[in-house]
Amino acid sequence: MTRRTTTIAVLGADDVARLREVRLAALRQEPAAFLSTFDQQVTWSEDEWTRELGRGTWLVAEDRGSDVGLLGATPEDDIPREDRYASYMWVRPDRRREGIGTLLLETLIDRLRADGVPCLWLWVMDDNPNALRLYEGAGFRLTGDRQPLAADPTRHEVRMVRRL
């Protein structure tokens, strides 16, 4: 399998269970990459997942019936109302380094640009060089914002932004 056989689906209102399943797979598999934990989100009710789905744009990378990647974009309080944050970025371990993360980002950027979104922001752990390289390659730059994690102040996240 290669990136050539992978397509990107935009989740719709009926995809609550799908969002839950892919996100929980990501949290279970890669706990250090995210601020939320599997134990927190596994307890979310259907209403909470429905609200999460409705909060933003959610892309799933799929390949022959399997979901192999996830990426979302949501508005947040600490950025201008028209901008979005990228979050939930994850590619299944057996499909990494094929360009699927890049494909998710490029697809998201194209959609947001078409919708007139000016900037896409994100936070990433500064001990996650693979994600930092992915984002730099997709045109994000460091803003200089850096903060310790509430749950572990020995670790830090840095903020990046890409003008669309």
Ligand X SMILES: CC(C)(COP(=O)(O)OP(=O)(O)OC[C@H]1O[C@@H](n2cnc3c(N)ncnc32)[C@H](O)[C@@H]1OP(=O)(O)O)[C@@H](O)C(=O)NCCC(=O)NCCS
State the residues that interact with ligand X by CB under 6 A. Answer: 30, 33, 89-91, 96-102, 124, 128, 130-131, 133-134, 137
How far apart CA 12 and CA 10 sit, in angstroms, is 6
Strands 119-125 and 84-91: parallel
Separation CA 124–CA 58 (nearest Å): 18
Least gap, CB of 133 to ligand X (angstroms): 4
Q: CB-wise, 108 or 134, nearer to ligand X?
A: 134
Report the residue number whose CB is nearest to ligand X: 101
Kindly tell me which of 112 and 122 has the beta carbon lying closer to ligand X.
Answer: 122
* Shortest reach from residue 26's CB to ligand X, in Å: 7
Question: Cα separation of 14 and 101, whole Å?
Answer: 24
CB of 52 to ligand X, least distance (A): 17
Judged by CB, which is closer to ligand X: 50, or 62?
A: 62
Which of 11, 27 has the CB closer to ligand X?
Answer: 27
Residues 155 and 146 sit within 8 Å (Cβ to Cβ):
no
Minimal distance in Å, beta carbon 25 to ligand X?
Answer: 11
Q: What are the CA-CA distances from residue 46 to residues 18, 42, 106, 130, 136 (Å)?
A: 12, 11, 30, 33, 35
